């Protein structure tokens, strides 16, 4: 197989400085390290990782780079073995040069030439949890404290989270010899993987705890109380620190994120901090003018004047009767939309009065006259 150009692999020009080469390699190494990709892509990542590491080993060495520039791959293959290519290459210092420190190198690369290797995993933070909480418009308007129950993992009291049955001990993993990792070598170059047998723990539970079955945790229903701030809207996330899953090996708990869901209201619609409400008003009140009562999200009724001649769809504003701003600066407004209600049933006297009203208004309401107008319009 024909080898690709080292400069092309690292994405640098042939005049690139050593610092530019280091920076490019560091970026690519973080992207293609086998421990940073999913299992199905690991084999491909290993090949890419070896390729970029070989490119860096050559181009970061002045003598090797000179031979490569003059003779190409032939100048390298004829003079250096697989071990010689990597010999003397200081992979660790690149991360110190770019502010990462030697710890990053140990975390990502697990050593070259058989050196180093990651230690077994230490304390790890627990996973975060999410809980959807339904609240009403009225609760969101004034704020409220809510209590609910979530099911989460708790440290097993029988084994204190160790996973092993009390009175027994964990055994050293024979595959990785307790290191938590296994290495694969190709000449002078090696890559360490998390041990699949012990999953990086370095130890095996031979006699699992009967309560948690070796998991170290058990599911428990936990009562939670959270304060909902006034003005909260659907989709908001409230963070409750330390109420997530327990951490491993003494690590801290994760957090609980409460996701607010605002229940649909029969009367109100919310748009940011403003509230819209349709209020039915009779024809008579709209025509003559009147005073009506309108509801608000604060469980109160406000008297509002409807001017004579108000049309259906007319909107009135009630200042400061919307949702409060979460920052506490001000409140939104409530908008009352008038919906003229037409009676569905009328008696003979009401019909007579309406026809008389139409006549006085100069309005022809007979069906026959309307039909005649249509015929004339389409002649």
Handedness of CA 316, 321, 322, 324 (dihedral sign): positive
Q: At residue 148, does pLDDT exceed 70?
A: yes
What is the CA 232 to chain-centroid distance, rounded?
A: 19
Q: At residue 218, does pLDDT exceed 50?
A: yes
Query: What would the pLDDT profile of 69-83 be if each residue is shown by its tens digit?
Result: 887 887 787 677 766
Question: What topology is assigned to 268-341 in CATH?
Answer: HSP40/DNAj peptide-binding domain (2.60.260)
* pTM for this prediction: 0.58
| Distant-in-sequence, close-in-space partners of 75: CB < 8 Å, separation ≥ 6 | 67, 68
Q: At residue 110, does pLDDT exceed 50?
A: no
Domain boundaries, the chain: 6-109, 129-262, 268-341, 348-377
CATH number of the domain located at residue range(s) 129-262 in this protein = 2.10.230.10
- CA pair distance 13, 342, nearest whole angstrom: 80
Give 219's pLDDT tier (boundaries 50, 70, 90). very high
53 and 60 Cβ atoms separated by less than 8 Å: no
Q: At residue 215, does pLDDT exceed 50?
A: yes
What are the helix (H) ranges across the chain? 6-10, 18-32, 42-59, 62-71, 73-77, 82-86, 93-97, 102-109, 137-142, 283-288, 348-360, 367-377
State how far the alpha carbon of 336 is from the alpha carbons of 76, 270, 317, 333, in Å.
82, 12, 6, 10
What are the b/e assignments for 117-139, b being 16+ CB within 10 Å?
A: bbebeeeeebeebebebebebeb
Query: What would the pLDDT profile of 241-299 be if each residue is shown by its tens digit?
Result: 999 999 887 788 999 999 999 999 999 999 999 999 999 999 889 999 999 999 999 98
Please tell me the predicted confidence (pLDDT) of residue 111. Answer: 41
Query: What would the pLDDT profile of 334-353 be if each residue is shown by its tens digit?
Result: 999 999 988 888 899 988 88
Domain 6-109 architecture:
Orthogonal Bundle (1.10)
* Mean pLDDT on 176-200: 74
Locate 273 and state its tokens.
Answer: 């901090």
* Mean pLDDT on 238-242: 92
């Amino acid at each position: 197989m024909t080898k690709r150009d080292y400069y092309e692999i690292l994405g640098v020009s042939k005049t690139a400085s050593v610092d530019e080469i280091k920076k490019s390699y560091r970026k690519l190494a973080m992207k293609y390290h086998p421990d940073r990709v999913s299992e199905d892509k690991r084999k491909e990542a290993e090949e890419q990782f070896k390729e970029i590491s070989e490119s860096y080993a050559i181009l970061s060495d002045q003598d090797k780079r000179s031979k490569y520039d003059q003779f190409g791959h032939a100048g390298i293959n004829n003079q250096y073995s697989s071990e010689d290519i990597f010999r003397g290459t200081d992979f660790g210092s690149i991360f110190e040069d770019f502010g990462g420190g030697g710890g990053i190198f140990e975390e990502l690369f697990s050593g070259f030439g058989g050196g180093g290797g990651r230690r077994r995993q230490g304390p790890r933070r627990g996973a975060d949890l999410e809980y959807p909480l339904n609240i009403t418009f009225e609760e969101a308007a004034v704020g409220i404290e809510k209590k609910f129950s979530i099911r989460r993992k708790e440290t097993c009291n029988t084994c204190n989270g160790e996973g092993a049955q009390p009175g027994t001990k964990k055994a050293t993993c024979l595959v990785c010899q307790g290191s938590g990792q296994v290495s694969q070598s190709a000449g002078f170059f090696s890559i360490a993987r998390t041990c699949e047998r012990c999953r990086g723990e370095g130890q095996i539970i031979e006699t699992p705890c009967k309560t948690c079955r070796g998991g170290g945790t058990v599911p428990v229903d936990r009562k939670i109380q959270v304060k909902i701030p006034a003005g909260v809207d659907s989709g908001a996330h409230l963070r409750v620190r330390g109420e997530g899953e327990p951490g491993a090996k003494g690590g801290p708990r994760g957090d609980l994120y409460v996701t607010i869901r605002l229940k649909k209201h029969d009367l109100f619609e919310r748009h940011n901090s403003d509230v819209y409400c349709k209020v039915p008003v009779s024809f008579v009140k709209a025509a003559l003018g009147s005073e009506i009562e309108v509801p608000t999200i604060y469980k109160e009724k406000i008297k509002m004047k409807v001017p004579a001649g108000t049309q259906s769809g007319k909107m009135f504003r009630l200042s400061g009767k919307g949702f409060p701003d979460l920052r506490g600066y001000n409140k939104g407004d409530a908008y009352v939309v008038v919906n003229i209600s037409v009676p569905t049933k009328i008696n003979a006297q009401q019909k007579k009065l309406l026809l008389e009203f139409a006549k006085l208004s100069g309005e022809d309401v007979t069906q026959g006259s309307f039909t005649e107008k249509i015929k004339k319009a389409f002649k």
